[in-house]
Structure 1
């Protein structure tokens, strides 16, 4: 970069092209930004601008570390020179480096009254320009209200909608949210946007998980947590740690799941059920490891959190952890622990969960969770030699999964089929019919194109 004593190529070209006035330069810059954004298919470039204060510094040879990458790209398009050349010495670029107007080449130590007056006027003008710049915002209350409304609609309908089309809708909203964050807005709006971005990335993590893309789900969850950190929202921090723990649980990494639960428990939610969810996930992970004492303690902790929970989750919907879900997580825990007493307890808990889910209006039913609760009930009934009851639950699960398949339900069906094949009931007429039905369902699902699996 050119030193403050040397005339830069940027200074020379600005003068040669008659761009010394800020508003004239800004108009040319905006035109160049729109052109390069269109050519490179990058909407962020169209939003590039330079404040009058920064422009004034550059035309006085005060370049600092030079422009940011996006700004540099627009300047390169405008002047057809690299940023390194533009902010390097004009003589190095072979340009005529005649002296700039005196107003831009004031000798050090000048103390005339005219210079002092010019200096004061320039400083005041720069401050006024910065104040106007600080008041600019690319988002207002109406935009944030619409974004919040879209998120509330999505989280309330996610549990009973096909996953792939919903994923595409959420992805579009997330991209819009990221674009807004790259612009300028008051700090309070920035916090709201980070909160929205955290929720949207959390939904994408959940959807990726439902589609069996666990690595992608982990990436989305990490980004969601970063955004929750920027928003300073404990409830989301806790909920996202729960999502990460859940992914580890399904990837057969119960130790990592427990570690993430402990991390999430450090954040006391502002309201809602995030800690109930964490404790319930921990119970299943401990049970998966055969740690009955810790599993039962976690179930007890979830009950205590339920008694203390105040107000509803924000924004609710899929981010909430209702009693029905707590009961079916407890049922899964008991099934992992095994034994006659735990199997009976699992059957009772799963039956209660199914009843609670079915009591919701059809448009609000959580179809995937209801199916998983039915799977727990079917496994408990199979363990109790109630093959007809198990068959009733499996038939209901397959009917729903044919319309809204998810990876977790598919895996549980496979688990049930293996348990059934190894049990005496597996050779019965009902047992053989069940195995055939599960096999046909899984074959049909595997034959679907990717977009048909939502």
Structure 2
């Protein structure tokens, strides 16, 4: 089968998948149409492979059918296949026309010009970049990391072009803030793709850009991101140092909640400071009480304050590490429901794995194994590094139970989830 045939087949399969999910949700084509704001005929044509709508259509279908982003993820995978096919054709054409010398300019240069065409001035270009980065931060934890990296490459080119020009001070601050957020996001995506050295480099760049922007709030965000990278890279002391430094220089930043509960509390748990964990968690919840109630679940890289669900889930992880399993179970009731409603696959899996480990220590083996299976199934398409590490922690705690059939199944799922490259040392310890 040729590349174009493979793409056509994949698009038709996606249409059939939509039809299956619609019927499972007990919806007719007429019933789905108003929910996605497309005509019934468009849905019918899509399901039969006669039409292939854009990404917005699939995103609306995911929302209406509560699929957890499955349709958009498949749309993005097909888009990657199509992009690879186009590149292959261009490479073949280049070689034939020039005897090996490149005929076409790099695609990212064309993409950067397209972005520039959408803006009449630098302020508009900055607004475009800010909007794209906010959307990418929203999509992180929902889409495979490689998909988001592909979307961000053209943005990196656009930022570099802008940084090479002269700017008025307000524009310079905005530009360096955009660059800091972009590098921090790329750091987290590199972490999920297990490029640990690249992740640390991007995270360091994010802080340097935040420092150049002279924005305390951005510095706090960047330090929180460095703490996250260090935690999952197996360096809890560095994670603690970054969180502490972020808190020292954060002023009244809303990121203090993230620095306390995601940075300090979890790192202190790893080094065995139980009283420090309590202080950090209590301080985070005291700050949270002074924030307006969040209408939505905050993202892990939120540009605003952490919400209650996110803070409680991080507190549960810290308490799990120091062996206070009853508090883990108490803290996770609200986050799991919130993450499920928001269809955030990363947090859905992580919170279930923490709950599974807590139930394991309480002797509820079957329930614990079921939760672990559910977690790895939810995140199977994304393969987040954080989920891989947390699943290893669960299996480490399960060793005393021997070769229980359901635990063996969890092991098989984790083996499928884990890349073949050698694993770095984990950033997590088994609970005490």
- The TM-score by the shorter chain falls in which range? 0.5 to 0.7
2:137 to 135, 152, 155: 155
- CA displacement, residues 317-361 of structure 1 (integer Å, 9 cap, x when unaligned): 4422332221121111111111xxx1111122123321221132x
Partner of 2:27: none
For residues 441 and 249 of structure 1, the distance between their equivalents in structure 2, rounded to whole angstroms, comes to 21
1:335 to 320, 326, 333: 320
For residues 329 and 254 of structure 1, the distance between their equivalents in structure 2, rounded to whole angstroms, comes to 15
Aligned pair in 2 of structure 1 residues 335, 165: CA closer, same or farther (>3 Å)?
A: same
Residue 139 of structure 1 contacts residue 185 of structure 1 at CA under 8 Å; is this kept in 2? no
User: Does the alignment pair 1:369 with 2:347?
Assistant: yes
1:400 to 373, 378, 388: 378
Equivalent pairs, count: 303
For residues 416 and 318 of structure 1, the distance between their equivalents in structure 2, rounded to whole angstroms, comes to 22
Stretches of structure 1 that go unaligned for 5 or more consecutive residues are: 1-37, 45-136, 448-454
User: Does the alignment pair 1:230 with 2:206?
Assistant: no
Aligned pair in 2 of structure 1 residues 271, 264: CA closer, same or farther (>3 Å)?
A: closer
* Deviant stretches of 4+, over 6 Å: 38-41
- 3-state SS, counterpart of residue 359 of structure 1: helix
Residue 387 of structure 1 contacts residue 430 of structure 1 at CA under 8 Å; is this kept in 2? no
Aligned pair in 2 of structure 1 residues 220, 387: CA closer, same or farther (>3 Å)?
A: same
User: Does the alignment pair 1:164 with 2:146?
Assistant: yes
For residues 124 and 105 of structure 2, the distance between their equivalents in structure 1, rounded to whole angstroms, comes to 30
- CA displacement, residues 240-283 of structure 1 (integer Å, 9 cap, x when unaligned): 111111222223322222211111012336653x1111111211
- CA displacement, residues 146-198 of structure 1 (integer Å, 9 cap, x when unaligned): 22221222122222011112112213202211211101332222221111111
What TM-score, normalized by structure 2, do the two folds share?
Answer: 0.64
- 3-state SS, counterpart of residue 212 of structure 1: coil
Partner of 1:28: none
Aligned pair in 2 of structure 1 residues 440, 249: CA closer, same or farther (>3 Å)?
A: closer
2:392 to 406, 411, 414: 414
Partner of 2:260: 279
For residues 143 and 127 of structure 2, the distance between their equivalents in structure 1, rounded to whole angstroms, comes to 23
Residue 261 of structure 1 contacts residue 282 of structure 1 at CA under 8 Å; is this kept in 2? yes
Residue 142 of structure 2 contacts residue 344 of structure 2 at CA under 8 Å; is this kept in 1? yes
RMSD across aligned C-alpha pairs, in angstroms? 2.8
For residues 404 and 39 of structure 1, the distance between their equivalents in structure 2, rounded to whole angstroms, comes to 33
Matches within 5 A, 1:11-90: none
For residues 430 and 266 of structure 1, the distance between their equivalents in structure 2, rounded to whole angstroms, comes to 46
Partner of 2:357: 379
For residues 322 and 312 of structure 1, the distance between their equivalents in structure 2, rounded to whole angstroms, comes to 6
Partner of 2:79: none
User: Does the alignment pair 1:438 with 2:414?
Assistant: yes
Which stretch shows the higher mean deviation, 249-258 or 192-201?
249-258
Bigger-Rg structure (1/2): 1
Stretches of structure 2 that go unaligned for 5 or more consecutive residues are: 1-102, 110-118, 422-432
User: Displacement, 1:373?
Assistant: 0.9
User: Displacement, 1:40?
Assistant: 11
For residues 305 and 228 of structure 1, the distance between their equivalents in structure 2, rounded to whole angstroms, comes to 23
Partner of 2:167: 185
User: Does the alignment pair 1:216 with 2:198?
Assistant: yes
Partner of 1:323: 308
Aligned pair in 2 of structure 1 residues 317, 437: CA closer, same or farther (>3 Å)?
A: closer
Residue 271 of structure 1 contacts residue 309 of structure 1 at CA under 8 Å; is this kept in 2? no
Partner of 2:340: 358
Residue 351 of structure 1 contacts residue 377 of structure 1 at CA under 8 Å; is this kept in 2? no
- 3-state SS, counterpart of residue 252 of structure 1: coil
